[in-house]
Amino acid sequence: MASRLRDWVASRIPRREAVQAWPLLRPFARHLGRPGLWQMHRRSVPRAIAIGLGVGILVPVMHMMLAALLSIPTRANIALAAAVTVLINPVTIPPIYLAAWRIGEWELEARGSNPTLPATQLQGHVETWLSWAQHASAPLALGIVTLAIITAVTGYALGSIAWRWHIAKRWKARRR
């Protein structure tokens, strides 16, 4: 089971040559070629998971490229950071953004300030719709940032724990 999962993940992680061939990343090809950015070790794996999850939530478009670019200064694993952004996809975006809006609404204590509009008002009054969108944007923006931070920190912690567990398992097998 674990080897099948590992093989599946390894087949989905982009290779160095593929990332360097992306047209938008060509100006950064010199930095992307550093071998340390492609190795998996105890520091680069949790960083990559945190970057991938945080960027995936904050930036719904082109998040794979942005995660690869942010991996350079943070010395995270580029391939893993790009692969983790796949968890945030068109299927998961609506529930994530709904949760972000609820979190932002809770943070701003604005539960009663967002007007609910019947369908007839939406058809006839553009001003009312724009007013509602304006009131909903603050909780959504705050919630997205909060959710991205919480997800990135959680991903970093779980990545560190998983890496330590993996190394302990390898040491145990080596001792046998």
For the full predicted model, state whether its pTM sits above 0.95: no
> What is the spatial distance between Cα 53 and Cα 86, in angstroms, rounded to a whole number?
9
For the chain, the domains span 2-175
Tell me what the mean pLDDT of segment 90-106 comes to: 89
Q: Residue 110: pLDDT band by 50, 70, 90 thresholds?
A: low
What's the pLDDT score for residue 38? 80
> What is the spatial distance between Cα 77 and Cα 41, in angstroms, rounded to a whole number?
9
Q: Identity (one letter) of the amino acid at 124? A: G
Instruction: Give yes or no for residue 122 having a pLDDT over 60.
Output: no
Give the position of tokens 């945030």. Answer: 88
